Structure 1
């Protein structure tokens, strides 16, 4: 999928499911549950306890290759070496908790969206100057929805995606504050810890409806 398509779809769909799985078996069940609930952007993190997360991304990219709805990405990418590995494995976008210019440069080389994590205007300016189209505000629970308007005051050209602490009860505040998209992880997938994947699907549906309501 071309970079422009990924970014356009991301803004349209708005919701990104952050999948932190302990192993590939659990991860696949979470991915299936999230998709069943209507969330199509899947961010698979590099923090898997058992198994190889790059291989898991490759497996999920292959599994959903013929399903145009599903967009597989990689999260918790800390360096350019990992970025290249996940891109070659099939990741359509790359997300990081921090700002690493070499990682951004690598992703730009492959024309893959790179969303670096920032907490300050200086970091946001650096990300924009490096060519990032969307910037991750992280941790969202520390910054809060008001951070978007604060960032957009001096940087109206910036687009921001909060991640960390986004849940069904506050996602409307982030949307109304002007979020380009939102990333949600533990709030969405906590049912997986006890094997209750039906709860993950139910929560995904709640998120989808909450976003629709906020946009209305």
Structure 2
């Protein structure tokens, strides 16, 4: 039931840190978000040290942090990420081979989709969550609301333009999980922890009111 456990943990968190940094900085960010109550992070494969970072994070934080690989565009990269210990795969695009590998190894897959047709097709191929990319961050929460009206069961991640001021708008529109970049990557460990705590509190408060 590994995939189900990871999927539930991502949903329960409601937020994940989107990180593009070298290993030293990745570890600092991880320490900050865990301290602030956000326990899910993806490490982008746009950075050469991504695999090493995932290995080190898994060893250092254990069950305290769910670690995924981001910007995974093809099966070869997915295999490397899974071998390194990635517990979910996050991408700006959908790829059938990546979807099949994730299903084979029983880890969640969150591909980026640009249309409702692509999103539904990705679900049919076994995607766990759908990241609306890149239009969500450009158009805003109304896009999520529009998509969720005819397809309320679509599990959506928004990964652009989310901050502490507008996160409630995204959640109200139907976003299930938010991906957060800059707000959880800037400053020192305490700064990151403070920001993570703000996101944690807002998500928890919103869900209690639903």
TM-score of the pair, normalised by structure 2: 0.92
Equivalent position of 1:36 in the other structure:
35
2:117 aligned counterpart, secondary structure: helix
Partner of 2:3: 3
Q: Deviation of residue 214 (structure 1)? A: 2.2
What corresponds to 1:151 in structure 2? 147
Structure 1 residue ranges, 4+ long, deviating more than 6 angstroms after superposition: none
2:186 aligns to what SS in structure 1?
A: helix
Deviation, structure 1 residue 47: 2.0
Do the aligned partners of 2:35 and 2:193 also contact (CA within 8 Å) in 1? Answer: yes
Matches within 5 A, 1:19-34: 19-21=19-21, 23-34=22-33
2:22 is aligned with 1:56: no
Q: Please give the alpha-carbon distance, in whole angstroms, between the structure 2 residues aligned to 1:34 and 1:25.
A: 15
Q: Return the alpha-carbon distance in structure 2 between the equivalents of residues 155 and 101 of structure 1.
A: 22
- CA RMSD across the alignment: 1.6
- When structure 1 is superposed on structure 2, of 147-156 and 70-79 the one drifting more is 147-156
SS at match of 1:148: helix
Matched with 2:201 is: 209
Alpha-carbon distance in 2 for matches of 1:11, 1:61? 20
Q: Which residue of the partner structure matches residue 12 of structure 2?
A: 12
Counterpart for residue 157 of structure 2: 161
SS at match of 1:132: coil
Between the aligned partners of 1:162 and 1:122, the Cα distance in structure 2 is 17
Q: 1:112 aligns with which of 95, 103, 107?
A: 107
Conservation of the 8 A alpha-carbon contact between 1:64 and 1:70: yes
> 1:190 deviation in Å?
2.2
**Match for residue 176 of structure 1 among 172, 180, 190:** 172
Equivalenced residues, count: 207
Distance in structure 2 (CA, Å) of the matches to 1:175 and 1:204? 16
For residue 191 of structure 2, the aligned residue among 167, 192, 199 is 199
> Aligned residue for 1:126?
121
Whole-Å separation in 1 of the counterparts to 2:123 and 2:186? 34
* SS in structure 2 of the partner of residue 64 of structure 1: helix
Alpha-carbon offset, residue 182 of structure 1: 0.9
Q: Deviations over 1:41-96 (max 9, x none)?
A: 01111122xx521111011112222xx33211111111111111111111110000
1:82 corresponds to: 77
